[in-house]
Amino acid sequence: MTLDDTPLPTPEVGFDVDTEPYWRGAGEGRLVLPRCDECGTYVWIPRPYCPLDLSPTRWVEVSGRGSVYSHSTVHRGERLYAKRAPFVLAYVELDEGPRIMTNIVGCPPDAVTIGMPVRVVFDAVEETMGIAIPRFTPA
């Protein structure tokens, strides 16, 4: 479901094997992140091995809940985003710890505040079966 008309760039799935499970999980309506099998650390950005102990990571589903850690309103977008500005680019700190870059959708840009509780939504990329982009909306 798309909450607004924020553009949907097509992820380069298959180009980068380290991120494919992220896009495929989103396509199934699940937010997944790699977690270390040994120490339990979530490894973001995705890597096949934990940077702390070099143990393998495995993709696991997380809650999809978090809060806005940082945000910026883009007033002059380029390319796909040229006609969409203003829109919000943000870091969301997930309840599980990692901070991921995303858009905040479904509310006016000036309503976004640091610490605001958010939940994930998945915007399907129509031209690519099974792929979606995780974004966040006020919880």
How far does CA 74 lie from the centroid of its chain? 17
> Considering beta carbons, is residue 38 or 61 the nearer one to Zn ion?
38
CA-based nearest residue to 101, from 16, 3, 9: 9
41 versus 128: smaller Cβ distance to Zn ion: 41
Positions in 98-137 near Zn ion (CB under 5 A): none
Count of residues interacting with Zn ion (CB under 5 A): 8
Instruction: Choose among 94, 116, 121: nearest CA to 35.
Output: 94
Give residues 29-68 in contact with Zn ion (rule: CB under 5 A).
36, 38-39, 41, 50, 52-53, 55
**Measured distance CA(24)–CA(17) in Å, rounded:** 11
Q: Report the nearest approach of Zn ion to the CB of residue 93 (Å).
A: 20
Least distance CB 38 / Zn ion (angstroms): 5
Minimum CB distance to Zn ion smaller for 37 or for 126: 37
Decide whether 39 or 139 has the Cβ nearer to Zn ion. 39
What number of CA atoms fall less than 13 Å from residue 29's CA on the CB side? 2
Distance (Å, whole) CA 67 – CA 50: 25
Tell me which residues touch Zn ion (CB under 5 A): 36, 38-39, 41, 50, 52-53, 55
